[in-house]
Structure 1
Amino acid sequence: MRTVEVIGVGMGNPRHLTQQAVDALRRVDAFFVLEKGSAADELAELRRDLCRAVIGTGDYRLVAVPDPPRDRSATAYAQAVEDWTAARGEVLLDTMEAHLEPGQTAGILAWGDPAFYDSTLRVLDGGRATGRLEVEVVPGISSIQMLAAAHRISLTRVGQPLQVTTGRRLAEEGFPPGCHDVVVMLDGACSFQHVDPGGVDIYWGADLGGPDQAVIAGGLGEVGDAILARRAEIRSRRGWVMDTYLLRRDVRHP
């Protein structure tokens, strides 16, 4: 059996790694990177830079794995994602078995923390279920934590719940019932545009913890357009953008 270390690496800044993550990086025989063949492959290069910065010129290897395409035209979104996840798992497992001997350790570097809207653990479920892999998880600093630090705020208020959701759910359902603090991730459509701005503040951040960090905060009605413009500028310049935000509603607002 082969072991896989799933290591949360934040935004790839070596200073954000825990000592546990550093130790895990140094145990790995080969790192496996799913590459999409697009501008997003800059993220794969950032993973390589991180390995060089932390491990140096050790005996580890970096193995590129072609990422299977996802059917974005499917009407059944959840099923399409499930099928894509299974296909990624098979490709990844086959590649690991081709490049590692039993008893060796694979490494997968997960952005932020693998517990928050990261597919890595689901991708590896098939290997765990069939006994082909042993999976270990090392937590990392999430974009949620970095968002709060960048804005110098607490995500929770006294006696109030916090919900983490996706842009798709926010656009379809709005604020969750009984919740006035919502962290939104995976929102390529800027779904805050569909929220009634009355009594709502937004705390937005992109490239959190990175050299090009951008943050904007204020009343949703006042700063929404500025966020749209800044996000579009980043995406135009780099081809991709990783952002998240907190929507905070006045608890007295109906």
Structure 2
Amino acid sequence: MRHIRVIGIGAGDPDHLTLQAVKAIARTDVFLVLGKTGERQELVRLRHRMLEEHARPGHRVVEVPDAERDRTARGYPAAVEDWRRRRADVVERLLAEQVGPEETAAFLVWGDPSLYDSVIAVLDDVHARVDATAFTYEVIPGISSVSVLAARHRTTLTRVGRPVQITTGRRLAEGGLPDGVDDVVVMLDGDAAFAGIDPEGVEIHYGAYLGTDDEILVSGPLAETAERIRALRAEARARKGWIMDTYLLRR
């Protein structure tokens, strides 16, 4: 039986690898990479650096093009489901063609695989399609950008007796800060949605490229920092060609 590992590798610092992740990498035969069009070469190099340091001699790396998501589709949930189905097609072929009987394969997932990542859902889809004895899989948690954000700003995500909500830039842009929640973590924000909400009484703890040499940190009242963050964000995106950021909004 084939065995699959979904390994969280942290937000960008090689030292974010947990001991559990390091041991899992060392026990893996083949690493499966779903290559994205124009993927950031810094992240590709970082992944290979981790394998050079921790993978066993003779390990294999198999990279295939990832399924492309239609970002122009009008129905967002339907577009995501279609993308995941086509990703499952790719993964099913990978497991059948590149992972031998009794071998162990792994997907290296940025941050924590349980937080805004589709690999677990895709493997569940593939598992439902094939013989239940075709493979087993396990998930190795990782240090998420949310945890790194809080640590870098020396704060906690929750306050006494209060909840925290994790949402996306899309949802924040649609509805603003949710009622009854004073602490909101925002991820997957392509358009600086924080700049479009009422800043009165709101603080922001912002982080981009967390854990890397290019890390950007800004904290303070949203009314005073929003434009500065937008400018820093735009400059960094133009210089590097991509941006990954996370932030905490706090009433």
- Do both share a fold (TM > 0.5)? yes
Q: CA–CA distance in 1 between the matches of 2:214 and 2:12?
A: 13
- Residues 112-191 of structure 1: matches in 2 within 5 Å? 112-129=111-128, 130=130, 131=132, 132-191=134-193
Contact 1:203–1:216 under 8 Å retained in 2: yes
Alignment-derived partner of residue 228 in structure 2: 226
Q: CA deviation at 1:228?
A: 0.8
User: What's the TM-score, normalizing by structure 2?
Assistant: 0.94
Q: CA–CA distance in 1 between the matches of 2:46 and 2:34?
A: 13
Alignment-derived partner of residue 203 in structure 2: 201
- Residues 52-91 of structure 1: matches in 2 within 5 Å? 52-55=52-55, 58-91=57-90
RMSD of aligned Cα (Å) = 1.4
Q: CA deviation at 1:214?
A: 1.0
Q: CA–CA distance in 2 between the matches of 1:7 and 1:75?
A: 33
2:233 is matched by which residue type in structure 1?
R
SS at match of 2:174: helix
Q: CA–CA distance in 1 between the matches of 2:199 and 2:228?
A: 14
2:98 is the alignment partner of 1:96: no
Q: CA–CA distance in 1 between the matches of 2:29 and 2:190?
A: 35
Contact 1:14–1:54 under 8 Å retained in 2: no
SS at match of 2:204: strand
Structure 1 window deviating more from structure 2 (123-132 vs 159-168): it is 123-132
SS at match of 1:124: helix
Q: Percent sequence identity over matched residues?
A: 51
User: What's the TM-score, normalizing by structure 1?
Assistant: 0.93
Q: CA–CA distance in 2 between the matches of 1:240 and 1:194?
A: 21
Q: CA–CA distance in 1 between the matches of 2:116 and 2:155?
A: 22
Contact 1:35–1:41 under 8 Å retained in 2: no
Alignment-derived partner of residue 51 in structure 1: 51
Structure 1 148/160 Cα, relative in aligned 2: closer, same or farther at 3 Å?
A: same
Contact 2:195–2:227 under 8 Å retained in 1: no
For structure 2, the 5+ residue unaligned runs are: none
Structure 1 window deviating more from structure 2 (38-47 vs 12-21): it is 38-47
